[in-house]
Amino acid sequence: MTAPKAVARKTIWMLVIAMAAALLPLATVTAPAGAETISALTKRYVETFYPLWLTQLQFDVAPHNRLIGPDIVNPLYQGVVAINNDTLYASSPVDTSGGPVMVTVPRTPASYSVLLLDAFGNTYPVDIPSKQAGVNTPTKVYGLVAPGYRGGLPAGVTRVRLQHPFMILIFRADRFSDNRDLTAQAGRFRAALKMQTLSAWRANPQGGATAVRSVAEFALPVKTMADTLINTAPVEFLRQTQRAVGDGLRVPPLAPRHRALADAFNRVFAGGADPAVWPAVSSGARAAHAAIIGNYLSNRDRNNWIHFTNIGKWGNNVLDRASLNEFIQFGNGISTAAYYHAFRDGNGAPLDGNRPGGYTLTFPANAIPDASRFWSLTAYTPNSIELIPNAADKYLVAGYTPGLVRNRDGSITIHIARVKPAGVPEANWLPVGFRPFNVMLRLYGVIPGSGPANNTYVPPPVVAR
């Protein structure tokens, strides 16, 4: 979408929220007998299908079969929660229902990862390999095809059979590899990535280059809109979720138990036409949202870091799936990346930028995060989980940060504060604002057999100064 379209879309959705909220006083009639059952059914329904509300909106505004990415990453970006500034993004919904989609992956010295997901955020193996620094791979063309596709592909094209006709493909190119600044090379790689339909490729194999667009075009606050709508206008949220669940192309086939749940809810809430059930479904939706957030925030280790190892592989745990989509949407599986998220310091007090002395995070010399690609620490706003505006225009501290200083004993201390403490190297300072905040530690390139891979690694606590 273009920047004007992004603004228009945001305005329209905010009007929808306001109009739907205005209707809530009508939903004061007494619910029928069994209202508790309706509320419980709604709660299960939202916990199960919450991710689809998010992806429905994102699929509506994103071009299909065309890679796009922001020119920069800064606090304007709100299209996906917990964005990072370590990598350059190129992503697209992939619709192979009308035929193959061609992807050209160029040669590059930079590292990059390839992530394939469905509308729930489930991750899948893909025969487009990720690349580590130092690995020499030639330019290659891949043909993405739907299940059951029997047609041919041009000579020299590698067939990649997708698990579903409609999926999401994300490339992340590392700005730094082996502590070398390869931002320019990563940028050239992203610009040379190509995606287009087979018919367009036959007409021009050099077409379909990644569209690098202004970050303002990625400003639609998807998570904030979901949080607002489900709490102020839950009936409208449920109507929109029903439409998302019923999308036979974008949503992978539902498991029998989930199909039964959707059918049961549809019988009770037929598009929201019966105001008698509005109080019950509204309370159930709000209860589900509270459970989704509570499940995430309560999953803390002994140092108050939140960590999940089942990202993209949730199995029957739909509550974890909803929670991760709320806070780390489109996250990588544990074999690629590990995420540690802290809203509290080591003593359990909420992190707050108004604290005069700020905070420190010190990695001992023998416990510095170990990853084959990089580790980084990023600060986020409390509710939308987006980057924090700051005068330094600085959004992370990483193992590759130029000028990062170690202490005399080999440890590394990161200072987290709204103003750089006196005597602290610029490289070791992570700016925050005046409000509550949270921080996320990322390890990209999880090493097999390591603590993060085995779920035995616990980052040191954030310490209030």
- The 10s digit of each residue's pLDDT in 78-95 is 999 999 999 999 999 999
The answer on 457 and 329 residing in a single domain is: yes
Asked whether residue 54 is domain-assigned, the answer is: no
Cβ atoms of 184 and 267 within 8 Å: the answer is no
Which domain-ending residue is among 241, 267, 297?
297
The answer on 229 and 208 residing in a single domain is: no
Residue 17: per-residue pLDDT = 52
Q: Give the angle subtended at the CA of 355 by the CAs of 352 and 361, to the nearest 5°.
A: 75
| Torsion, CA 303, CA 175, CA 144, CA 311, rounded to 10 | 0
User: What are the residues whose beta carbons fall under 8 Å from the beta carbon of 291, sequence distance 6 or more?
Assistant: 43, 47, 319
The answer on 456 and 338 residing in a single domain is: yes
Amino acid present at 334: I
Amino acid present at 146: A
DSSP annotation string for 255-324 = PHHHHHHHHHHHHH-STT--GGGHHHHHHHHHHHHHHHHHHHHT-B-TTS-B--S-TT--TT-HHHHHHH
Which domain-ending residue is among 190, 218, 246?
218
* d(C-alpha 426, C-alpha 101), whole Å: 45
Residues in the chain: 465
* d(C-alpha 280, C-alpha 288), whole Å: 12
* d(C-alpha 392, C-alpha 381), whole Å: 16
CATH number assigned to the domain comprising residue 154: 2.60.40.1610
The answer on 228 and 181 residing in a single domain is: no
Asked whether residue 302 is domain-assigned, the answer is: no
Asked whether residue 304 is domain-assigned, the answer is: no
Asked whether residue 56 is domain-assigned, the answer is: no
Asked whether residue 312 is domain-assigned, the answer is: no
The answer on 460 and 330 residing in a single domain is: yes
* d(C-alpha 218, C-alpha 76), whole Å: 7
User: What are the residues whose beta carbons fall under 8 Å from the beta carbon of 423, sequence distance 6 or more?
Assistant: none
Going from the C-alpha of 56 to that of each of 52, 211, 242, the distances in angstroms are 6, 21, 11
Amino acid present at 437: F
Q: Among 104, 103, 126, which Cα is nearest to 115's?
A: 126
The answer on 230 and 153 residing in a single domain is: no
Give the whole-number percent of the chain exceeding pLDDT 90: 88
Number of compact structural domains in the chain: 3
The answer on 460 and 324 residing in a single domain is: yes
Cβ atoms of 168 and 72 within 8 Å: the answer is no
The answer on 182 and 117 residing in a single domain is: yes
Residue 5: per-residue pLDDT = 53
The answer on 100 and 201 residing in a single domain is: yes
Q: Whole domain around residue 376: which residue ranges?
A: 318-464
Report the SS3 class of residue 99.
Answer: coil
The answer on 388 and 333 residing in a single domain is: yes
Which domain-ending residue is among 203, 218, 233?
218
The answer on 452 and 333 residing in a single domain is: yes
Asked whether residue 305 is domain-assigned, the answer is: no
Asked whether residue 61 is domain-assigned, the answer is: no
Q: Among 333, 256, 341, 324, which Cα is nearest to 51's?
A: 324
**pLDDT per residue rounded down to tens, the chain (465 residues):** 444 455 455 444 554 454 444 444 333 333 444 445 999 999 999 999 999 999 999 999 999 999 999 999 999 999 999 999 999 999 999 999 999 999 999 999 999 999 999 999 999 999 999 998 777 889 999 999 999 999 999 999 999 999 999 999 999 999 998 889 999 999 999 999 999 999 999 999 999 999 999 999 999 999 999 999 999 999 999 999 999 999 999 999 999 999 999 999 999 998 888 999 999 999 999 999 999 999 999 999 999 999 999 999 999 999 999 999 999 999 999 999 999 999 999 999 999 999 989 999 999 999 999 999 999 999 999 999 999 999 999 999 999 999 999 999 999 999 999 999 999 999 999 999 999 999 999 999 999 999 999 999 999 999 999
Asked whether residue 49 is domain-assigned, the answer is: no
The answer on 16 and 112 residing in a single domain is: no
For the chain, what is the mean pLDDT? Answer: 92
